[in-house]
Chains A and B, each alone.
Chain A
Amino acid sequence: SQTIHQWPATLVQPVGSPLSLECTVEGTSNPNLYWYRQAAGRGLQLLFYSVGIGQISSEVPQNLSASRPQDRQFILSSKKLLLSDSGFYLCAWKSSKGAKQYFGPGTRLTVT
């Protein structure tokens, strides 16, 4: 069966520090991968998606970047965090032939 992992689960970082959040998927190959952010009291916003290794599409201009160095690994990064980067970050995967997205447990990021 397929599983999706995210780490860390919780992170507190000072403003201006770098960020790296990791998402990995097991039990499937060539998935579509997605990064969402959920700010406090708001819905989910799609940040990035990837349909293959090295292929990244950005949905909104921001302080973050994404990379997909391996087929089942998706990384969210920032060189310098802003207070507005605080939120709950969710990774999701989808089969390239399906429509259902499956979500990871999320990472709660607090920028102080």
Chain B
Amino acid sequence: AQSVTQPDIHITVSEGASLELRCNYSYGATPYLFWYVQSPGQGLQLLLKYFSGDTLVQGIKGFEAEFKRSQSSFNLRKPSVHWSDAAEYFCAVAGNTGTASKLTFGTGTRLQVTL
């Protein structure tokens, strides 16, 4: 069964500092990987995805993530954090077989940005 681990429950960074949110997955084949962001009381917005090809993927809002098969990781990065990036971030994995493509989410990392 597929699973996702986000080891950091809560991270605080200063505005302008760099950010890296960790994500490790477990899946028997090449997975589909996603990062979603959730602002308080809101639904989830897709930041970026990895399906195949270039292992460094660019997303919206200046985020990027790198797929490292050897480490089963898909860490999210941003070179300079803005106060508006404060939110909860979820990493997710989906199997690439079958039509259902069920997403399995990590428990999330809450990002706090200090001014």
Chain A residues in the interface with B (C-beta under 8 A)? 6, 32, 34, 36, 42-46, 49, 51, 57, 59, 90, 92, 94, 96-106, 108
Q: Total A-B pairs in contact (CB under 8 Å)?
A: 64
Per-residue CB contact flags for chain B residues 66-105 toward chain A (1 = under 8 Å, else 0) read 0000000000000000000000001010101001111111
Query: Given the complex of chains A and B, what is the CA–CA distance between A85 and B106 in angstroms?
Result: 20
Query: Given the complex of chains A and B, what is the CA–CA distance between A46 and B94 in angstroms?
Result: 12
Task: Count residues of chain B with CB under 8 A from any CB of chain A.
Answer: 26
Query: Given the complex of chains A and B, what is the CA–CA distance between A49 and B98 in angstroms?
Result: 13
Q: Closest approach, in angstroms, between the C-beta of B21 and any C-beta of chain A?
A: 14
Stretch at the interface among B12-20, B37-45, B54-62: B37-45
Query: Given the complex of chains A and B, what is the CA–CA distance between A59 and B107 in angstroms?
Result: 17
Q: Which 8 A-B pairs have the closest CB atoms?
A: A43-B107, A103-B44, A44-B105, A103-B43, A105-B43, A99-B32, A43-B105, A106-B43
Contact A94 B43 (CB under 8 A): no
Per-residue CB contact flags for chain B residues 102-115 toward chain A (1 = under 8 Å, else 0) read 11111110000000
Q: Taking the complex as formed, is B27 at the interface, i.e. its CB lies under 8 A from any CB of chain A?
A: no
Chain B residues in the interface with A (C-beta under 8 A)? 6, 32, 34, 36, 41-46, 49, 51, 90, 92, 94, 96, 99-108
Query: Given the complex of chains A and B, what is the CA–CA distance between A97 and B46 in angstroms?
Result: 18
A-B contact pairs, 27 of them (CB 8 A): A6-B43, A34-B102, A36-B105, A42-B107, A43-B6, A43-B106, A43-B107, A44-B44, A44-B92, A46-B102, A51-B99, A59-B102, A90-B43, A90-B44, A99-B49, A100-B46, A101-B34, A101-B46, A101-B103, A102-B46, A103-B36, A103-B43, A103-B45, A105-B42, A105-B43, A106-B43, A108-B41
